[in-house]
Amino acid sequence: MGRRKKGDPVSGWVIVDKPLGVTSTDTVSRVRRAYNAQKGGHAGTLDPLATGILAVALGEATKTVPFIMDATKTYRFTVRFGIATDTDDREGVPIATSELRPSDHEIEAALTCFTGEIDQLPPRFSAVRVAGERAYDLARAGEDVTLTPRRVTIHEARLVGRPDADHAEFEILCSKGTYVRSIARDMGEMLGCRGHIAVLRRTRVGPFGEAEAIPLDKIWSLGHSAADTETLSAYLCPLETALDDIPALAVSEQEAARLRQGQAVMMRGRDAPILSGSVLAMHRGNPVALTEYERGELKPVRVFQLP
């Protein structure tokens, strides 16, 4: 007999508005404890310096994390011109300064170089692995860190504000793996004035935006009364929200049972003409399995064991 898991079989997504100074790991831990969930994870690290959307998966929703990690992300951020730091953000040690300040026109012109597919060098203080070690661990130990540029996509980039000569506010829509700190660093170098991230906020991850986000403190403040439990349940987005771009297909109770056991289901031609690739099998409105349609069969790829 397998060991019984601690906690409740809670499954779904909690979209957290992460506050300043809290790690992504600590955020997941707090949400998991608030729900007394058996397991939890997140769909993309948000630095302690950053605020905004952290999509937290609980229970069976953790099986859908890769789909949200692959989704596009939107950030609003402020660049401080005139100072470069070793971490490319305001918490780092200044390593270069400049008295030059760019004009709005110069900034707009530079932005065109940060749109589309670009090769981006991650910050020295980042979670990228170098010879099996995290880059930030090597950097903190004083070791030389040699990083390799990575191809990322900036779908949209625009200047949204200019509070003063030292600062500029931006918004970008980008692919996974994009480092906003690298954009600030590289833009500062391109403009000849240096720069780093002063403020960073993630406003959207895939289907999840600020409208769905709940402040972490609000979640953490709830107890276990009936009213609080009801409120927590209301914050929980269905597991299948992460799969909103995958076609869904209703299956029978017998077919659902087969899929849950890891067995393929023959479609008998009834839906075959409209199916291809990934298909979400549903039974009575509940997700059963993420499947792959191939040669007239639905083959389970990820099975969801929901109560």
DSSP 3-state percent helix, strand, coil across the chain (nearest 5): 30, 35, 35
Show Cβ contacts of residue 114 under 8 Å, excluding neighbours closer than 6 positions: 154, 157, 172, 183, 186, 187
List beta partners, residue 8. Answer: 37
Please give the full DSSP string across 114-154, using - where no structure is assigned.
Answer: GSEEEEEPPPSSSS-EETTEEHHHHHHTT-------EEEEE
Contact 259, 298 (CB under 8 A): yes
Per the residue annotation, which of 8, 17, 47, 271 is the catalytic one?
A: 47
The Cα angle at residue 103 between residues 97 and 109, in degrees rounded to 5: 105
If DSSP codes are grouped into helix, strand and coil, which group holds residue 176? coil
- List b or e across 29-48, with b for residues whose CB sees 16 or more CB atoms inside 10 angstroms: ebbbebbebbbbbbbbebbb
Structure tokens at 180: 């906003």
Helices in 165-280 by DSSP H: which ranges?
180-191, 216-221, 226-235, 253-260
Cα radius of gyration (the chain): 23
- Known catalytic membership, residue 86: no
- Distance (Å, whole) CA 193 – CA 139: 24
User: What residues are annotated to the active site?
Assistant: 47
